[in-house]
Structure 1
Amino acid sequence: MTNPFFEASTLPYQLPPFDQIRDEHFAPAFDAGFKQHLSEIDEIVAQTDEPTFDNTMVPLESSGAILELVAHVFFSMTSTDSSPALEELDEQYAPKLAAHSDAISLNPALYARIKTLHDSPDAAWTDEQRYLVERRYQEMTLGGAGLDDTKTDRLKQINQRLASLTTLFEKNLQAETNDLAVVIDDVAELDGLAEGEIASAAAAAADRGLEGKWLITLPLFSGHPLLASLTNRDVRERVMRASLSRASRGNEHDNSGVVLEITRLRAERAGLLGFSSHAEYITADETAKSPENVAAMLDKLAPAARRNADAEADALRTEIEAAGGSHELASWDWAFYTERVRAKKYDVDTAALRPYFEADRVLHDGVFFAANLVYGLTFTERTDLVGYHPDNRIFEVFNQDGSALGLFLLDLYTRDSKRGGAWMNPLISQNTLLDQPTVVMNNLNVPKPPQGKPTLLTFDETSTLFHEFGHALHGLLAKVTYPSFSGTNVFRDFVEFPSQVNELWMLWPEVVENYAKHFETGEQLPREIIERIEATGSFDQGKGTSEYLAAALLDQAWHRITADDEITDVAEFERQALEAAGLLNPVVPTRYSTTYFQHVFAGGYSAGYYSYIWSEVMDADTVEYFKSSGDVRAIGEAFRQKVLGVGGSKDPIKAFEEFRGRPADIAPLLERRGLAG
């Protein structure tokens, strides 16, 4: 069998040949990748010469080429266009991948060589080389290299089991999300939705063979964007209850038991590694440094956020009464009545903005236009290149001087084979050591309209597109020597910073005036409406901040337990954790409840969901810097060179301070979220 993973791609930028890749290629490619990688490590540790950077770090960074490629492609496909065959492979290879990772990261001979380099650095090393040795040594030390044989064996068992459990968590969640999509029998129940939204619901139902019906698929977070528009309260309740119940219904896809085992094993592993909790273990290698520092920030913000949310709830109750309603405010009412209050207070109806956010125009005249304005980038669609799915679009990216930069792939639409949420991931990670270019991809979950109908984005979906493209820019603009530092390979509580900054351009005057035009008439979104939108900056932020902080504190609670803690009831643990934080609020549910909290139980953010608001401190500060500057291009170039361009090759806090000339100021964040008082 000819396996495309065994030959270098001849496509531009080494793009994987998706039209040739079949499910049966993955297993042999993984197996060959394991074998090749271990052989390369054996060659490093078999040397009798004293360790040097060139005989240890360079071959280590150069190793594992087949495995790197097949893993990037495989996990891109399992998250975007999975199938029973791929799911079976995922379950089969998750523990094997964990075992392989441990075979390298816990290799005592390799660790000894790196420790020698770390303890006796060469004055001739570059800053990047010095930092690479520091990071490798730190990662291996924290990961358990140097433990005795008994602890090492147990650590390997835990890591393999956790790999299987996190794969199972995601599989259960995807099945539940599909199963709990709300079926509507009468179109009258969709009153309040735009024509395009109703058409998308009909198309989603038709895709499942439910002709003559409408289907409301569920996003990853609690609730649903359509709750702001649906006038039928019973339908709103059905949607919210379906969202909140995912993977907690006592059926075969219930994640409760999975969560209990994951958290227990993570706590046990932390103990083996010398930490009191998984949260302490994780934050030791982040900019936060300790869970106490995380708690100091989150606990400081939570009371003010709750007070603001309570005040917002009172305003909604007043609105319900004014509208002649007699029901109590419930979580499924919040978005609907918030839009009514917003319309009265600011004369802004965000649902009515969708005709101005046609997806292709947002992409070309908004997202790409902003990248040109700030960084001088240009984009050309490559219809001659093939992605992994027909909805996949591919763009070639160029610098201002016309030099080639990389490829950007966009996969916009939701489907049953795709996990929820929005994200960026690399396919080919730039580095000069191996002469690799850059190929990155963005995924969203926008409902797909019927053939021939325009894709009209919501306000939040537009913001998400700008956000995720910020991650893509980080991947595209990083220029590093070593693969370990490519793109977004930075501390977890720093990685959201560049993407949050990129949201700024959504309503930047020069940008929004270029793309926000009515899809039928071409009429520009009136400036006075944009100004009213900007005036709502802290509106509903009590709720927004409360639901986020509830999730972040819930994540911390699960990961500050010890191996000796006896927890048997997931729902009760969550209730107590939110109550202790002052954020147990039935009308403002946590953004992610435990059994569908994919970020922390299957997505790499365990004990790290705090990172969004942690990095938002730098984001808000940077946004103020751009706004106060008269030269966006100059500030953009500085941001590119000092933050985005260094990838993970420099301590991120130092990188930020070199960009700003000082540490980050929290005041802009407090002002943005209405917490300044």
Structure 2
Amino acid sequence: MTVETNPLLTPSPLPYAVPDYGRIRAEHYLPAFRQGFDEQLAEIRRITMARSMPTFENTMEALERSGELLDRVAHAFYTVSSADATAEIQAIDEELAPLMAAHHDAILLNAALYWRISQLHAQLGVLPLEPEQRRLVERWHREMTLAGAALDDEAKVRLTDLNQRLSSLSATFEKNLLADTNELAVVFEDPAELDGLSAGELSAAARAAAERGLDGGYLIALPLFTGHPALAVLTNRESRRRIMEASRSRGSHGGEHDNRAVLSEIVALRAERAALLGYPTHAAAVTADETAGTPEAVERMLRDLAAPAARNAETERAALQQLIDETEDEPFPLEAHDWAYYTEKLRTARYDIDTAALRAWFEAERVLQDGVFAAAGRLYGLSFQERPDLPVYHPGARTFEVFQEDGSPLGLYVLDLYTRDSKRGGAWMNEIVSQSALRGTKPVVANNLNVARPADGEPTLLTLDEVNTLFHEFGHALHGLFSDVTYPHFSGTEVFRDFVEFPSQVNEMWMLWPDIVGAYARHHATGEPLPSDVIARLQATETFNQGFETSEYLAAAWLDQALHALRAGMRIDDVAAFEANALVDIGLADPAVPTRYSSAYFAHIFAGGYSAGYYSYIWSEVLDADTVEWFRENGGLTRANGERFRRRLLAVGGSQDPLEAYRGFRGRDAEIAPLLKRRGLDV
């Protein structure tokens, strides 16, 4: 293809260099990737073949300028492959996975490039570099060393083979999971089986069924995690059981989409790769370059939290069982598919809050405009203007231009709210264009959620959890939008994995901030605000059911660590038995409190970037809870507070050590007490 026939081969002429998705077709991607590979490797050769001794300009800056075409194509493609993975896009993804792995290895394992960077690294004490330049040398040297750049040629060949195979397996895992999640969506014939759903939820289920040709039926799609929002409201116990059983069987019930052999091979190959790199386990290799430092530090924290979490979950279970015994004509032992339903009954009894009924106050557009955007306006001076004139990768996505307080343009924000069969589960943020002063690019970031689309003409009403998710993911978006770095290596969310969730978790605090929730939480039909006493009761429930929620999360985090604590030569033959033993070890083997993700559908660690790093959510929450305390102590939602948080933490991306940046913001290291209090683990 030529630049005339392939729009990916030249920089986009559109505002903010947003990809021209109106012209891009699936067949454009692979040729553009191949040209991107060739161009960057040629740029690397020019760096390594230079006759002059290494300088920051001829090595580091040249390295950061390299690969612009590849970066542009990759950002455009991976946005689509996660949010609109048609069969054609999936086939490209599978073919591309080993090619990308090989290309990264060709750079990270390049001996000549490593030598040049090592020369600069050895002179850091005397080179006249700016702080961001100094850190760039440090990070590239560290990352290449950890990637295996110092290995001999034979070891590098094996490492490259491992990386390519692992990349292919991850693509297969994700493809299997998407297919199985779609196939196992639960179909109901009688609306009575879905008693408890609102009219809007029922219409969404009918619409989903009709889109699959199941006219007259009702389809309940499965989220990424083990549970399901519908479990909290469905009165029919058998319906709840069917949904939970379908969710938990994904990737592990036999057939062409079974992920057990795939994940077993991934774990074994990661262990072999770690040994090749000089680490005892994959977990050790991963945490060596995170703020945690070692898997032992992660284990200590998880074990310290697991015991009180399990104790609190047992107390919650007793209360739920008592409720069943007192209210059901024929009492039964509490099971996993019952927990959410009776939790909501108990919440209503204790706090007079029906979370399902709250949806009427959470109309999606008002939550976005008067909640998420309004909080960003108050805190950071931002404003948002929709840009329907700009092309998007799917008709369901919307683009907003973001402006700073002085009216100057900051970047673009894309929101893709609704679920569809071609979109992977869960919620996430990704960058479509990364900010870099060196390259002259402004940020374009996207948030994806999986909210059920109601019937035409009906409002989109969010659950309380979905409102929280929107605030959370927008926190990631702010991290990308506020990036103010020179080098693309440090842009936006390019930070340590166990730090990346921190800004997004902080942004959740504004969801129930009095004057924010008072503005967006209005009844979709009457405009009546959510009563202040209801908001107060919601705030009072902060520790309610935290035994369960903390336990299910910790179980998944521990499972991730256990899988990646295996040494080279070890293999998992029975995934279910391995999981059971791991959960017994951590004291979280409670059948009524299943792990948030079981191995066969644990996309975070087998198809995402969280392998041996799922602990990072609660590791980051220590910083988050401590930061929330700071905001409360210093006046809350003020421009001065927002500016401090933005400049000292969000804007710096990966250009500073994150814990040093946090100390600069807070004036000290984070303390764990606010987290323990938040989760009810301080008693």
Normalization by structure 2: what TM-score?
0.99
| Residue matched to 1:289 | 293
**Could you say which residue in structure 2 is the equivalent of 1:634?**
640
2:364 maps to 1:362: no
Q: Deviations over 1:434-463 (max 9, x none)?
A: 101110000000000111111000000000
- Among candidates 70, 73, 77, match of residue 74 of structure 1: 77
Q: How far 1:41 sits from its partner (Å)?
A: 0.3
Letter in 2 for 1:57: M
Deviations 1:90-113 (A, max 9, x none): 111100110011001000000000
* Contact 2:484/2:651 (<8 A) preserved: yes
Deviation of the 1:61 alpha carbon: 0.2
Amino acid paired to 1:394 = T
Please state how far the C-alpha of 1:566 moved relative to its aligned partner. Answer: 3.7
1:185 matched residue in structure 2: 189
The equivalent residue for 1:563 is: 568
Report how far residue 7 of structure 1 moved. 1.4
Residue deviations 1:513-547 (CA, integer Å, cap 9, x gap) = 11000000000000000000000000000000000
In 2, the alpha carbon distance for the partners of 1:269 and 1:574 equals 23
Return the match for 2:139 from 135, 140, 159.
135
Q: Does 1:54 align with 2:60?
A: no
Whether 1:467 and 2:472 are equivalent positions in the alignment is: yes
Measure how far apart 1:582 and its partner are: 0.5
Which of these residues, 372, 376, 381, is aligned with residue 381 of structure 2?
376
Alpha-carbon offset, residue 564 of structure 1: 2.5
Q: Quick one: distance in 2 between partners of 1:86 and 1:552?
A: 31
Q: Aligned residue for 1:348? A: 353
Q: Distance in 1 between matches of 2:641 and 2:623?
A: 15
Deviation at residue 150 of structure 1 after TM alignment: 1.1
| Counterpart Cα distance in 2 of 1:100 and 1:237 | 46
Structure 1: distance between partners of 2:661 and 2:211: 48
Who is 1:268 aligned against? 272
Secondary structure class of the residue paired with 2:120: helix
Given residue 54 of structure 1, which amino acid in structure 2 is its aligned partner? E
- The one-letter code sitting in structure 1 at the alignment partner of 2:586 is A
Distance 1:310 1:391 in 2: 43
Q: Is residue 2:611 matched to residue 1:606?
A: yes
Counterpart residue number, 1:228: 232
Cα displacement string for residues 596-648 of structure 1 (whole angstroms, at most 9, x for unaligned residues): 00000111100000000000000000011111222622111100000001011
Residues in 1 aligned to 2:642 and 2:78: alpha-carbon distance in whole angstroms: 32
Tell me if 1:408 matches 2:400. no
Instruction: Specify the alignment match of 1:650 in structure 2.
Output: 656
Structure 2 residue matching 1:492: 3-state secondary structure: coil
* 1:664 match: 670
Deviation at 1:333, TM superposition (A): 0.3
Match of 2:208 in 1: 204
Secondary structure of the residue that 2:553 maps to in structure 1?
helix
Say if 2:492 is the partner of 1:487: yes
Distance in 2, matches of 1:389 and 1:478, equals: 26
SS in 2 for 1:350: coil
Aligned to 1:535: 540
Q: Which residue of 1 aligns with 2:68?
A: 65
Q: Alpha-carbon deviation of 1:242?
A: 0.3
1:117-158 Cα shifts (integer Å, max 9, x gaps): 000124420000000000000000000001011111100000
CA distance in 2 between counterparts of 1:75 and 1:426 reads 9
- State yes or no: 1:499 paired with 2:504: yes
- 2:38 is equivalent to residue 35 of structure 1: yes
Counterpart amino acid of residue 15 in structure 2 = P
Could you tell me which of 112, 115, 135 is aligned with 1:112?
115
SS in 2 for 1:481: coil
Instruction: Give the structure 1 partner of residue 440 of structure 2.
Output: 435
For 1:215-254, what aligned pairs fall within 5 Å after superposition? 215-254=219-258
Note if 1:619 corresponds to 2:619.
Answer: no
Q: CA deviation at 1:192?
A: 0.7
Query: Which one is further off, 620-629 or 234-243?
Result: 620-629
AA paired with 1:46? M
Contact 2:275/2:281, CA 8 A, preserved across alignment? yes
- Residue 305 of structure 1 aligns to which amino acid in structure 2? A
Q: Structure 1: state its 5+ residue gaps.
A: none
Alpha-carbon distance in structure 1 between the residues aligned to 2:522 and 2:633: 27
DSSP 3-state at the match of 1:616 = helix
SS in 2 for 1:494: coil
Where structure 2 has 5 or more consecutive residues not aligned to the other structure, the ranges are: none
Letter in 1 for 2:40: H
1:258 and 2:262 are equivalent in the alignment = yes
Report deviation, 1:478. Answer: 1.2
Secondary structure of the residue aligned to 2:499 is helix
**CA displacement at 1:223 relative to structure 2:** 1.4
Q: What does the per-residue CA deviation read over 1:574-599, in whole Å, with 9 as the maximum and x for residues that have no partner?
A: 11001111101100000000000000
Distance 1:643 1:547 in 2: 30
Q: Secondary structure of the residue that 1:657 maps to in structure 2?
A: helix
Change (3 A) 1:566 1:8: closer
**Structure 1: 4+ residue segments shifted above 6 A:** none
Residue type of the alignment partner of 1:541: Q
Given candidates 339, 364, 377, the residue that maps to 2:344 is: 339
Q: CA deviation at 1:567?
A: 2.4
Q: Supply the AA of the counterpart residue of 1:104.
A: I
Tell me how far apart the structure 1 counterparts of residues 572 and 89 of structure 2 sit (CA, whole Å): 33
Offset at residue 326 of structure 1 (A): 1.5
Partner Cα distance (2:201, 2:123) in 1: 63
Aligned counterparts of 1:566 and 1:334: Cα–Cα separation in 2: 34
Q: Distance in 2 between matches of 1:79 and 1:437?
A: 22
1:565 deviates by 2.0
**Aligned residue pair count:** 677
Structure 1 residue identity aligned to 2:681: L
Match of residue 88 from structure 1: 91
Deviation by residue 1:64-104 (Cα, 9 ceiling, x = unmatched): 11111111111111111111111111111100110011001
Q: SS of the counterpart of 2:448? A: strand
Judge conservation of contact 2:264–2:571 (CA < 8 Å) in 1. no
CA distance in 2, matches of 1:146, 1:565: 26
Question: Is 2:30 aligned against 1:24?
Answer: no
Equivalent in 140, 149, 153 of residue 149 of structure 1: 153
CA RMSD in angstroms, aligned pairs only:
0.7
Supply the distance in 2 between the matched residues of 1:525 and 1:570 (Cα, whole angstroms): 46
CA distance in 2, matches of 1:607, 1:73: 27
- Structure 2: how far apart are the matches of 1:20 and 1:575? 50
TM-score using structure 1 length: 0.99
Find out whether 1:597 has 2:602 as its counterpart.
Answer: yes
Question: Residue 209 of structure 1: CA displacement?
Answer: 0.6
Counterpart in the other structure of 2:680:
674
* 2:313 counterpart (304, 309, 314): 309
Letter in 2 for 1:82: A
Asked if structure 1 preserves the Cα contact closer than 8 Å seen for 2:503 and 2:650, the reply is yes
**Secondary structure of the residue that 1:665 maps to in structure 2?**
coil
Q: Equivalents in 1 of 2:481, 2:619: separation in Å?
A: 24
SS of aligned partner of 1:456: coil
